[in-house]
Structure 1
Amino acid sequence: MNVRSGEVDLAVQVRGTSGPTVVLVHGYPDTHTVWDRVAAILEKDFRVVTYDVRGAGESTPPSTEDGYRLEHLARDLFAVIDAVSPDEPVHLVGHDWGSIQSWEAVTEPGARIATFTSISGPCLDHMGHWSRQRLSIAHLRQFLGSWYIGTFHLPVLAPLFWRLYLGPRWGGVLRRMEGVRTTPAPTITRDAVRGIALYRANIRRVMRAPRHRHAPMPVQVIQPTRDRFIQTGPLDLERWVPSLRRRRIVAGHWAPLSHPEPLARMISEFITDSAPPRELVVITGGGSGIGRATAVAFAETGAKVVVSDVDFTAAKATAEMIDGHAYEVDVRDEAAVRAWARQVADEHGVPDVVVNNAGIGHSGSFLSTSTEQWQRVLDVNLWGVVHGCRAFGELMVERGEGGHIVNLSSAAAYTPSKILSAYATSKAAVFMLSDCLRAELAPHAIGVSAICPGLVNTNITATTTFSGVSAEEQSRKQARASRLYARRGFGPEGVAREIVRAVRRNRPVVPVTAEAKAARLASRAAPGLLRAFAKLDVG
């Protein structure tokens, strides 16, 4: 169908016949076909509307460059909404320049828009206000990413470049940049040359005198993590949008082409429930000590917390403290951990943060530590972390929204000791695993942190086993260790605070206590000193 808006005719396409109406607005230099794969998924539950913006595809162009100003583009959108949904508000989704012009519409008083999802296209007025803030690295990155805007203002070269070089090669450009194989619209060169007017008619005018533009409806901003051109993270959108949801998608700029499934899911979820979701945090070994303190710390930030422990009674007690959820899981059992991860995903969703905390202590010389004792320590401290990273990491990668994994290592990972060979080896393995995993998962926007506490007053000292001693001597050593750690006076709450901070700042290695920080420094600057200290008799 065609919709008349001022001097232009807009080619409009409608898919599906039932459900709320969703209007998808494309960017530059695309046509409505950029939404084809997303629309095919959404039309199962929604009535989906796409259209070619003025001057693109089958829509006619305005007669002058000023005809591409944002107020005319917003008027086109309102004309489409009036034609396809005259009685009910619509749910709006915009990508690139489709998002920029949609911001112009949603910030108009009385706009009949129920929700707005913005992808890789900020409000130019918001950008204008942000550009006037104190210069930062984020400003420099955005300036470098927007290098092409200046070239689009060149009167002859920019159109010539599109006609002679970029237009005929656009399919190959998208393949190299985004990894997608697509056949560009036959009108790509013509549309791209016409669309240069979008930049010339709006960028300097709006950025020179930005307005105060507020969006009253719920707004979802989806930021592709590999977008080379636009980063909306630094923008102070909370200032302009009372009900804001920020989400990430592990994709490049043209996410509608490369990642239609997760994008359609995010759009659908937002339309169904526009309330901001609570962060979901999963913690193993959450029945006591650092695990319980971490559960409390994340709950205090408003997160939804799921804990597991081999002691279900302890896990349940933690969950009751924070209105969380408890499960009984033995992290040594890979099948059990995988089943639990799937259960968590089915019942609560894929977690945003996973804390692999479950661990046990063991002390004794290498020669006095039996194979069975070595196996027990490695099964819990190392394999438990491996199982957790794999089971939940796969879910995070599949979801495509990033996340964070926290692995509990120890200062013992880089502090040699002749009485902690098994324990230190397990924690050193976790330390290196975390670094390797951080590199592997970085392209998926999943951070990994290794937390390295020193002496922390938890019940691990009361359950630590010792090699080559009688039951009576083991009890004596456990009591002595508990008294030492208690005198140190550093509780698990301090570790929990560092864990939350590590997630927020995406820190790779976090020594927690003073002795852990000192040992970390010594391990890098004077490792021979630590080796000499390890030879001393410490009882």
Structure 2
Amino acid sequence: MSTPHDVQHVWTADGLRLAVYTHGDPAAPTVLCVHGYPDNASVWDAVAERLADRYHVVTYDVRGAGASTAPRERSGYRMERLADDVVRVADAVSPDRPVHLLAHDWGSLQSWHAVTDERLASRFASYTSISGPCLDHVAHWIRSGLRAGNPGRLLSQSAHSTYIGFFHLPVLPELSWLTGIGGLVLGAAERVGESGRPRVRARRAMRDFLNGLDLYRANMRDHLRSPGRRRTSVPVQVLAPTREAFMPDGAQTAAAEWVPDFRFHRLNGGHWAPRTRPDVVALRVGELIEEVESGRAPATRATPRPRRFAGQLAVVTGAGGGIGRATAFELAEQGARIIAVDINEETAARTAELASLLGPGAASYRLDVADGAAMDRFAKWVRSEHGVPDIVVNNAGIGIGGSFIGTTPADWERAIDVNLWGVIHGCRAFAPMMVENGGGGRIVNTASAAAYLPSRAYPAYATTKAAVLMLSRCLRGELADHDILVTAVCPGVINTGIIAATHFAGTDDCAATAARERLARLYRMRGYTPEQAARRIVNAVDRGPELLPITSEAHGGLLLSRLAPGVLRAAARKAPPIE
């Protein structure tokens, strides 16, 4: 554990003494850590140990916790007092330079209050929040849902926060801590999301439990009943544990509406991430600090709606057109940075250029996904230049039609190389780094409704797509413990450019041209656009379903494959061959 090389005291405006602990070189950028309830500064020990070799890390016991003194009246726990304490500590440990704020739980609530106060915001270079939203943002988020006739937000937050009502009761909360019953409940909550990981034991005193109850009693009602409009220009990232027991994702992303420079990252684990996932917390904090200190932070851009993937990095292959390009645009509009990949360098660059107009930024890369060594080089470049992706969309593919007998070994090899090996290469290149990064993530592999709809007209294509579907299902099981969800997309008939580029094996040029024209006419008549498909795909990324059929025929075919596979086999026998 990190041992502070200096302990000092900072006095608050109302005469309380805050115990402040410092780690690392005072000349380095300062990271100021604010703990939550019922913790004290020791919750940050493991994180401080990992950051102190690069930064000046400062932790402190908030008023009433640890070695800090407690106010006599409940009003001493008001949010304004807490936010002022944050600034007083920042002024004491880094008087000439803004600090990088890192906060958890109730520490996040009071830190939000500080960074959204225009009088105080200049003291902060960046802000990383873990499991703690701005109370005012949450109140506006719930109210907007109710105005839209959707009580789900209120119900979701209430289900996660039943303990808050209990903490407002007289006497009973104190008795629960004093009798040990509350400790047993807390211990169970702390074990959520910690399976298989070594635990750093919490060091708490009874005063941490008892005094901190007034945090809830002094603040909750006023801020939820009469929320302010709290904005900030400080770069903010929210780390949301995937097994968070007390806070739904929506409440934490609600801040995107109020913070132009906003990032949202999942973190594989439970609520007490500073103790259970210190490596991941330190990594994310370090990435943001380096971005801000180097001046690489993107220019802030106001958006008319919250962005679900703000600050996340998405790699999309086959992004030069069709579903790939539309998915890149949709992700960019939702706040993701895009790496647009295609074998055609010009179309990839055009996708990146347009995506950068919709979102925080984009880059392009020319790549043949069938080349495993090239994919490995690309993945190393992404990690070095842009970081570990949060979302990987393995979309690149080719069409191939024709009978099995007419399909040559070379045709099979090309179909397998692109449609199957391209997905395998993408998963092999990015899944290990996503696991190592510990932030969870999403892998989306484009299969096809042909994966479960047999046909004599496209056996090579259907075989490769069926393999992608099974690969995705297997990989989903393997990566589930790391909170990396794998989805196989089965689009159906989407009006893209794939037909024009489809190779028809075993046919002459005239027959192939006629087949393309017939299929292109069918796809145009169906009229389902890549943009519609992309919206479905991106809307599903958060949920991470195992299988995502897009069109009605894809849904219908899936249902028949499960309930009446004989009907599909009969249809496959009767379908006319391509001649």
Distance 1:126 1:303 in 2: 22
Q: 1:10 aligns with which of 5, 13, 18?
A: 18
Tell me the SS of whatever aligns to 1:391.
Answer: helix
Q: 1:149 aligns with which of 161, 164, 167?
A: 164
- CA distance 1:321–1:89, shift in 2 (3 Å): closer
Q: In 1, are the aligned partners of 2:265 and 2:439 still within 8 Å (CA)?
A: yes
Given the alignment of the two structures, is residue 128 of structure 1 paired with residue 139 of structure 2, yes or no? yes
What is the match of residue 113 of structure 1? Answer: 123
Q: In 2, are the aligned partners of 1:449 and 1:503 still within 8 Å (CA)?
A: no
What is the match of residue 345 of structure 2? Answer: 315
Q: In 2, are the aligned partners of 1:92 and 1:113 still within 8 Å (CA)?
A: no
Distance 1:387 1:521 in 2: 30
Matches within 5 A, 1:210-221: 210-221=227-238
- CA distance 1:171–1:291, shift in 2 (3 Å): closer
Unaligned ranges ≥5, structure 2:
1-7, 301-309, 354-362
Q: 1:252 aligns with which of 265, 270, 274?
A: 270
Distance 1:537 1:170 in 2: 62
What is the match of residue 35 of structure 1? Answer: 44
Alignment-mate amino acid for residue 100 of structure 2: H
Q: In 2, are the aligned partners of 1:226 and 1:253 still within 8 Å (CA)?
A: yes
Tell me the SS of whatever aligns to 1:250.
Answer: strand
What per-residue deviation string (whole Å, max 9, x for no partner) do you get for residues 215-263 of structure 1?
3433333222221102352464244334433333222111111222222
CA displacement at 1:91 relative to structure 2: 2.5
Distance 1:244 1:423 in 2: 41
Q: In 1, are the aligned partners of 2:449 and 2:491 still within 8 Å (CA)?
A: yes
Q: Which moved more, 1:239-248 or 1:290-299?
A: 290-299
- TM-score scaled to structure 2, two decimals? 0.80
What per-residue deviation string (whole Å, max 9, x for no partner) do you get for residues 490-530 of structure 1?
39992354135312333644444565455345445654433
Distance 1:525 1:190 in 2: 62
- CA distance 1:402–1:478, shift in 2 (3 Å): farther
Distance 1:270 1:537 in 2: 56
Q: 1:222 aligns with which of 234, 239, 245?
A: 239
Q: How many residues are treated as equivalent by the alignment? A: 529
- CA distance 1:18–1:483, shift in 2 (3 Å): same
Q: 1:448 aligns with which of 475, 487, 492?
A: 487
Q: In 2, are the aligned partners of 1:306 and 1:319 still within 8 Å (CA)?
A: no
Q: Which moved more, 1:422-431 or 1:317-326?
A: 317-326
Distance 1:237 1:69 in 2: 21
What is the match of residue 436 of structure 2? Answer: 398
- CA distance 1:69–1:279, shift in 2 (3 Å): closer
Distance 1:18 1:492 in 2: 62
Q: In 1, are the aligned partners of 2:108 and 2:131 still within 8 Å (CA)?
A: yes
What per-residue deviation string (whole Å, max 9, x for no partner) do you get for residues 159-215 of structure 1?
222223257669954762342422322x43331122122222222343343334333
Structure number with larger C-alpha Rg = 1
What is the match of residue 451 of structure 2? Answer: 413
Matches within 5 A, 1:167-246: 173=188, 176-179=191-194, 180-185=198-203, 187-231=204-248, 233-234=250-251, 236-246=254-264
Distance 2:328 2:435 in 1: 24
Identical amino acids, percent of aligned pairs: 45
What is the match of residue 358 of structure 1? Answer: 396
What per-residue deviation string (whole Å, max 9, x for no partner) do you get for residues 80-115 of structure 1?
223223333322222111111222323334114223
Q: Which moved more, 1:125-134 or 1:52-61?
A: 125-134
Q: Which moved more, 1:273-282 or 1:136-145?
A: 273-282
What is the match of residue 495 of structure 1? Answer: 530
Distance 1:520 1:116 in 2: 46
Tell me the SS of whatever aligns to 1:49.
Answer: strand
Distance 2:250 2:259 in 1: 14
- TM-score scaled to structure 1, two decimals? 0.86
- CA distance 1:170–1:21, shift in 2 (3 Å): farther
Alignment-mate amino acid for residue 160 of structure 1: L
Q: In 1, are the aligned partners of 2:339 and 2:352 still within 8 Å (CA)?
A: no
Q: 1:283 aligns with which of 316, 321, 340?
A: 316
Alignment-mate amino acid for residue 189 of structure 1: M
CA displacement at 1:156 relative to structure 2: 2.9
Distance 1:297 1:239 in 2: 18
Alignment-mate amino acid for residue 478 of structure 1: A
Matches within 5 A, 1:61-140: 61-111=70-120, 112-114=122-124, 115-133=126-144, 134=146, 135-140=150-155
Given the alignment of the two structures, is residue 529 of structure 1 paired with residue 567 of structure 2, yes or no? yes
Q: In 2, are the aligned partners of 1:457 and 1:482 still within 8 Å (CA)?
A: no
- CA distance 1:211–1:529, shift in 2 (3 Å): same
CA displacement at 1:488 relative to structure 2: 2.4
What per-residue deviation string (whole Å, max 9, x for no partner) do you get for residues 371-424 of structure 1?
665555334322322222232222223333343322222221222213433322
Q: Which moved more, 1:315-324 or 1:41-50?
A: 315-324
Unaligned ranges ≥5, structure 1:
none
What is the match of residue 517 of structure 2? Answer: 483
Alignment-mate amino acid for residue 450 of structure 1: V
Tell me the SS of whatever aligns to 1:110.
Answer: coil
Tell me the SS of whatever aligns to 2:44.
Answer: helix
CA displacement at 1:265 relative to structure 2: 2.6
Tell me the SS of whatever aligns to 1:249.
Answer: strand
Q: Which moved more, 1:135-144 or 1:484-493?
A: 484-493
Tell me the SS of whatever aligns to 1:45.
Answer: coil
Q: 2:557 aligns with which of 502, 519, 536?
A: 519
Q: In 1, are the aligned partners of 2:499 and 2:520 still within 8 Å (CA)?
A: no
Q: In 2, are the aligned partners of 1:382 and 1:430 still within 8 Å (CA)?
A: yes
Q: In 2, are the aligned partners of 1:25 and 1:95 still within 8 Å (CA)?
A: yes
Distance 1:202 1:88 in 2: 30
Q: Which moved more, 1:169-178 or 1:118-127?
A: 169-178
Q: In 2, are the aligned partners of 1:454 and 1:513 still within 8 Å (CA)?
A: yes
Distance 1:465 1:525 in 2: 31
Tell me the SS of whatever aligns to 1:245.
Answer: strand
Q: Which moved more, 1:160-169 or 1:402-411?
A: 160-169
Distance 1:301 1:172 in 2: 37
What per-residue deviation string (whole Å, max 9, x for no partner) do you get for residues 22-43 of structure 1?
2111111111111112222322
Distance 1:80 1:337 in 2: 48
What is the match of residue 497 of structure 2? Answer: 458
